[in-house]
Amino acid sequence: MAACLAALVAMALVGLGVASWLGLRSSSSDDPRNGIDADAARFTYGDRQAEVPLQECGREGDVVIMAGRGDGMVLQVAADLTDGGEARTGVTVDLGGEEGTLGAFGAGLEQGPVGEVTDVRRVGDALVVEGRWASLDSDTFAADDPAALVDGELVARCPPEDID
């Protein structure tokens, strides 16, 4: 009986250890989704960031479309999830007020190339677009100064059924 109890305790401890390890891995600090609620986007530009509530999320084939607004900001994203999709991805964020509009368009888009889209991927229920954002003319989306780019990232979470 004591041997059986010892075996059960050992199995329980191993199970807890595995569960803890899996829990730590799924909430690792390098997961881009950390701290972002569903139906929200975090736009990072340089050492600053803004969060925008999403009003629309959808997927048609390999293209994810998102739009959001809040606190005077407006976000628009069209992202191609296929290989080489960076060339067919565009992101704009009107930060409101004097901060202006930032974004990037791949060379395969009518507006592009502007800025630089360096990576487009899906992480679970999130879209991640990394790039070098240009300051944009809000009417034409042309870069105000094509050489003045700021590193950044967009992480946007829609309900899983919207981007599956």
- Across the range 6-12, mean pLDDT stands at 39
Phi/psi at 11 (5° precision): -65, -40
Identify whether residues 93 and 16 lie together within a single domain: no
Identify whether residues 26 and 50 lie together within a single domain: no
Number of domains in the chain: 2
pLDDT of residue 121: 94
Identify whether residues 115 and 142 lie together within a single domain: yes
pLDDT tens string 58-102: 989 999 999 999 999 999 999 999 999 999 999 999 999 888 999
Give the range of the structural domain holding residue 24, as residue numbers without chain letter: 1-30
Question: Distance between CA atoms of 11 and 41, rounded to whole angstroms?
Answer: 42
Identify whether residues 21 and 52 lie together within a single domain: no
What residue type is 154 in one-letter code? L
pLDDT tens string 12-57: 333 333 333 333 334 455 666 667 888 999 999 999 999 999 999 9
Identify whether residues 110 and 134 lie together within a single domain: yes
- The residues near 98 (Cβ < 8 Å, ≥ 6 apart) are none
Look at residue 35 and tell me if it is in a domain. no
What residue type is 88 in one-letter code? R
Identify whether residues 19 and 46 lie together within a single domain: no
Contact 4, 11 (CB under 8 A): no
Identify whether residues 119 and 71 lie together within a single domain: yes
Look at residue 96 and tell me if it is in a domain. yes
